[in-house]
Structure 1
Amino acid sequence: MAPIRGFAAFSAVFQLSMVRAIRASNAMAAVGPARASGAGGMANADRSAPCAAAVTPIRKGQAMNASVDIRIKQDGMGAVSAGTATWSDAVAPAPKLPDYLVDVYTWAYVAPRMVELLDREIVVATILWCQQNKLMRAARDELEPGSRVLQPAAVYGKLVSHLAAKIGSEGEYHVTDIQQVQIDHVNRKIGTLPQVRTEISDARTTGDGLYDTVCCYFLMHEVPEDYKRDIANNLARHVKPGGKLMFVDYHEPAFLHPMRPIIWLVFKWLEPFAKVLWRRELKDYVDDASEFEWRKETFFGGLYQKVVGVRRG
């Protein structure tokens, strides 16, 4: 038990240190080139000024305009070629970054300099209390080789590599994200695989036709309440009869869970849209939930959950 307690103490110190560091970073005057949450390769970005821009400190009650205050360089192409998967050549302008994303998650997902720093196994293990492999396997177990899979939002860690391997070259792995830097990072990791298709797209409107599985992995806790419903309903529309809508995300831990107070503080300072998942079921965000047969599994004392809905045929 000593190693477990030692890692728990380290993880607690790390996450609480992040809280302090991120709060202090609100006073930063600039954010240099790079990115976060999981996208790669600068193939379609302007290398001369990929993402260099100032971040204006946020005052209480002030709304930040992503395209003005951050001035992130978004490629005008909505689709990115990667591998040999086939899809429509039609592209749409890259969507504007939502204000909530810039206001709350610049440190993690918008500031490109952070992508290589945060997308490390030790960081992912620390944030997820060493449950990252168990959660990744839980998601991978829902996929079938040769299937068509949609994943809205890129993520840190080995997930995309493992899911791409499970799907195989006969399937299609469609990874979308609202940020160019995220897509670039995904392409650096798996973009040469023939089954991989990446695209800049808003999770509220993403998707092209019907999929065998839609995998929403640690996205719902990061978006405001109205986005949660819009995203869940859009993803549900893209599940074919007999297909799966899968959420892997946070869940309310057991009352006496030793990490509960720490997670509460992390949610309070870093994840303001997450704690609602402690009291609301993910399937309740789907308007036509009755069209699915649902099952739910929790992990690590209830701190994480996998919810799968199979669309009725």
Structure 2
Amino acid sequence: MSPPPAANTVETTSLSAKHALPPATIPAYLENTYWWAYLHPRAVHIFERQWLVNLILWGNFARLRDAALQEMGEVINGRVLQVACVYGDFTEHLVRRLGPQGSVDVIDVAPIQIKNLHAKLKNTQRVNAHLQDSTALQFADGSHDSTVVFFLLHEQPAEVRRKTIAEALRVTKPGGRLVFVDYHKPRAFSPFRYLMVPVLTILEPFAMDVWNHEIASWLPEGAPVEKIEKQTYFAGLYQKVVMTKKA
């Protein structure tokens, strides 16, 4: 594979086709580092396989998916924001939890990922896909009851990660929850503590930041967060961090 041509500015798309928001441009770090996984025309064909995303997470995809979704409840009647599309059936399971008053907004900066979301969702009622950058969300303050960020932060440089978290917090309503699931530094006895270092260093050059720092360390100064809960999985290789915004 060779890197794709330089990104052009593209218009917002939506499953419901009723939003007309400013265009998004693919960031340089995404083009330069992750073109092979998210931007190349063959990327979706290769990676959009449930068995493969489960293998990449050492058999933990369903466990981590369900742990994240459970934080929003068995039945979701609020407005949920999913920051970035996800390979695998994460969004499908999120949609299945929607109650009569529930809705989901999914944002991604890559048109090919939005197109893939269109293709794999069977139930598109109350689901809107928006072509947006996670560092500059086009939603009003406090517009969402909960926000979920599933394995995105480790793919972003620190300055981008900081802006993504700040924006996720901004658009979450007071009293609402932000749910982050990502990599974490494994416990000393875990073989993955040593096995994953070369893997992440080569393929995920920003991931070691998430190993070595708490997600909360990228919150903006004075962030209106009243509670932070953290749980780790698979001998510490993965983490779920739930932040509750001050009411």
TM-score for both structures, normalised by structure 2: 0.92
1:92 aligns with 2:22: yes
1:119 aligns with 2:119: no
For residue 70 of structure 1, give the secondary structure of its aligned residue in structure 2. coil
What is the aligned partner in structure 2 of residue 107 from structure 1?
Answer: 36
Query: Percentage identity across aligned positions?
Result: 34
1:70 aligns with 2:5: yes
For residue 231 of structure 1, give the secondary structure of its aligned residue in structure 2. helix
Partner AA of 2:64 in structure 1: L
| 1:305 maps to which of 236, 239, 243 | 239
Rounded to whole Å, the distance in 2 between the matches of 1:283 and 1:148 is: 24
What is the aligned partner in structure 2 of residue 208 from structure 1?
Answer: 139
Q: What's the offset of the Cα at 1:155?
A: 0.8
1:152 aligns with 2:114: no
| 1:245 maps to which of 174, 178, 188 | 178
* Cα distance change, pair 207–243 in 1 and its aligned pair in 2 (3 A): farther
1:198 aligns with 2:129: yes
Rounded to whole Å, the distance in 1 between the matches of 2:214 and 2:85 is: 23
Partner AA of 1:136 in structure 2: R
Alignment of 1:4-15 (within 5 A): none
Rounded to whole Å, the distance in 2 between the matches of 1:174 and 1:286 is: 23
Q: What's the offset of the Cα at 1:230?
A: 0.7
Q: After TM superposition, which residue ranges in structure 1, 4 or more long, deviate above 6 angstroms?
A: none
Q: Which runs of 5+ in 2 are unaligned?
A: none
Rounded to whole Å, the distance in 1 between the matches of 2:236 and 2:57 is: 13
For residue 115 of structure 1, give the secondary structure of its aligned residue in structure 2. helix
Partner AA of 2:71 in structure 1: E
Q: What's the offset of the Cα at 1:134?
A: 0.5
Please tell me whether the aligned partners of residues 95 and 123 of structure 2 are also in contact (alpha carbons under 8 angstroms): no
User: 196-205 or 164-173: which moved more?
Assistant: 164-173
For residue 257 of structure 1, give the secondary structure of its aligned residue in structure 2. coil
Q: What's the offset of the Cα at 1:289?
A: 3.8
For residue 297 of structure 1, give the secondary structure of its aligned residue in structure 2. strand
CA RMSD of the aligned region, Å?
1.8
Please tell me whether the aligned partners of residues 207 and 238 of structure 1 are also in contact (alpha carbons under 8 angstroms): no
What is the aligned partner in structure 2 of residue 294 from structure 1?
Answer: 228
Q: State how many pairs are aligned.
A: 242
What is the aligned partner in structure 2 of residue 25 from structure 1?
Answer: none
1:137 aligns with 2:66: yes
Partner AA of 2:42 in structure 1: R
What is the aligned partner in structure 1 of residue 159 from structure 2?
Answer: 226
Partner AA of 1:295 in structure 2: E
What is the aligned partner in structure 2 of residue 285 from structure 1?
Answer: 218
Please tell me whether the aligned partners of residues 21 and 138 of structure 2 are also in contact (alpha carbons under 8 angstroms): no
